[in-house]
Chains A and B, each alone.
Chain A
Amino acid sequence: MATSIVHRMTGVALTAGMVILAWWLAALAAGPDQYRLFCSLTATPLGQLVIFGFLWSISFHILSGFRHLIWDIGFGFAKKTSNGVSVVIFLLSIMAAVGVFALGYLKLHGGTP
């Protein structure tokens, strides 16, 4: 199913995302001005989209990667099982991304999660 190529695509996306991690850490170490610039960029619509994309990518890649590890041990190859788990991976990854994003949103914009 589509999980295989999406696993690769999220892996590539997360690799690009490492530039943002490096940017965050470097800005944090560099000083208040640099850190303020980074934080203001994360608040823009594009920044929010990137953060959501990162959350979904990492959720999907962990879940799908976990299944790869189970495949490596030698389980879960039956067609029915494999296809069913693929659907579960898609659904769970979206739920995890929306959930974590919502927690962050509530933390910023008031309301107790």
Chain B
Amino acid sequence: MSYRTPLAQVDGLGAAHSGVGHFWRQRMTAVALVPLSIWFVYAVLGLVGADRNTALAFLREPVNAVLMILFILATVIHMALGIQVVIEDYLPNETQKIAALMLNRAFAWAVGAVCLLAVLKIAI
């Protein structure tokens, strides 16, 4: 029998051993994404019907390239955390859950890498 109290077991970083990192990162990216998403929709709306050169010129503007990179980074982190919660909530099978969590992270990294490479290739 253990004399450890329930409080001691969740002390420090808690039962999940990651503390409030997930919760906090989800909120920080959420706050960042409110203005960034509105900028993104506004920017893409401005490019509706534009030819390729106009779109390229838009992303060659340093301010637009930086905002697009920030939008991509915040989105990729936010979505990986969000989908992780959905997987943890709805997949009952432990093996499936771990596989899905790995795929989720792989997807986020892959999408982020493709988006960032494209923006950097255009902007630099």
Contact = CB atoms under 8 A, between A and B. Distances in A.
Contacts of B115: 18, 21-22, 25-26
A65 to B, nearest CB: 5
Interface residues of A, number: 29
**B interface, size bucket:** 20 to 34
Contact of A107 (B48, B55, B86, B118): B48
Interface string A7-24: 010011011001101100
Interface string B27-38: 100110110011
B84 to A, nearest CB: 11
B90 to A, nearest CB: 9
Nearest to A11: B82
Contacts of B82: 8, 11, 15
Give the dominant DSSP class at B's interface: helix
B41 interface: yes
13 contacts: A11-B86, A15-B79, A15-B83, A18-B115, A25-B122, A26-B118, A29-B121, A35-B55, A58-B41, A62-B34, A68-B30, A100-B41, A107-B48
Interface of B: 27, 30-31, 33-34, 37-38, 41, 45, 48-49, 52, 55-56, 59, 72, 75-76, 79, 82-83, 86, 107, 111, 114-115, 117-119, 121-122
